[in-house]
Amino acid sequence: MDSIDGVRELLRGLPVLKGRAPEFDPHDVPDDPVELFVSWLRTAVDSGVVEPHAMTLSTVDTGGRPSARVLILKDVDSAGWHFAVNAGSRKGRELAARPVASLTFYWPELVRQIRVSGPVAADSRELAAADFLARPAGSRQMALTRRQSEPFDSDAELDEALARADLELRADPHLAPPDWISYAVQPAEVEFWQGDPQRRHKRVHYELVDGKWTRNRLWP
């Protein structure tokens, strides 16, 4: 193994857990993790966390090979954590073949991380269509090229595909393609983690057992 000069030292010199952790009593948490998530989300928004709705979505393919990428959270409710994908993209194909996922939020300003995992279920067509129609025109055009995650080698081809998508949208401004799918991660496990510079991290782990939430603290 050839090490690259200085990288190990560069990494070791970087600070971590330097945010300001809010008050958090792991004994005083709601029974439902959705409630705690929304409370932490509101704190993140109020504290000016940058893009708190950006989350890492991890999926697996049929061979068990994992992949992850950042995506925008669209909603959270009793059905779960909602996001939308192009069916033909890598994540879209993986979710169709293996309907399970894990979400990771990291809010460094608050030294907080949240992990959610469980099966995914497609939302109704109406919900997916409403999500699509609420997207800016440029995002809708790009989605209508229906080629996300394919090999790319020509800007001219992309320009052409976008021009076609623009025509499609002009012909039908209410167009919502069936390959735009909204999913919800139905939580089976949710973990709230608040970091501590002394490494006495506070961790609360919720798990759904026989349809009821149980929770435990985890060793830091």
Tell me if 148 contacts ligand FMN by CB under 6 A. Answer: yes
Name residues contacting ligand FMN, limited to 80-99 (CB under 6 A). 89-91
| Nearest distance in Å: CB 9, ligand FMN | 28
Q: Which is nearer to ligand FMN, 83 or 206 (CB)?
A: 83
Tell me if 58 contacts ligand FMN by CB under 6 A. Answer: no
CA distance linking residue 168 with residue 160, whole number of Å: 12
Q: Which is nearer to ligand FMN, 36 or 116 (CB)?
A: 116
Residue (of 112, 104, 102) closest to 49 by Cα position? 112
| Nearest distance in Å: CB 128, ligand FMN | 13
CA distances (Å), origin 95, targets 57, 88, 89, 130 = 11, 10, 10, 21
Stretches 18-26, 70-78, 114-122, 154-162: which one binds ligand FMN (CB under 6 A)? 70-78
Give the bridge partners for 184, in sequence order: 82, 121
CA distance linking residue 36 with residue 28, whole number of Å: 10
| Nearest distance in Å: CB 12, ligand FMN | 26
Q: Is 218 helix (H, G, I), strand (E, B) or coil?
A: coil
CA distance linking residue 112 with residue 39, whole number of Å: 13
Name residues contacting ligand FMN, limited to 114-143 (CB under 6 A). none
Residues lying near ligand FMN in the complex (CB under 6 A) are found at 51, 54, 67, 69-72, 89-91, 148-149
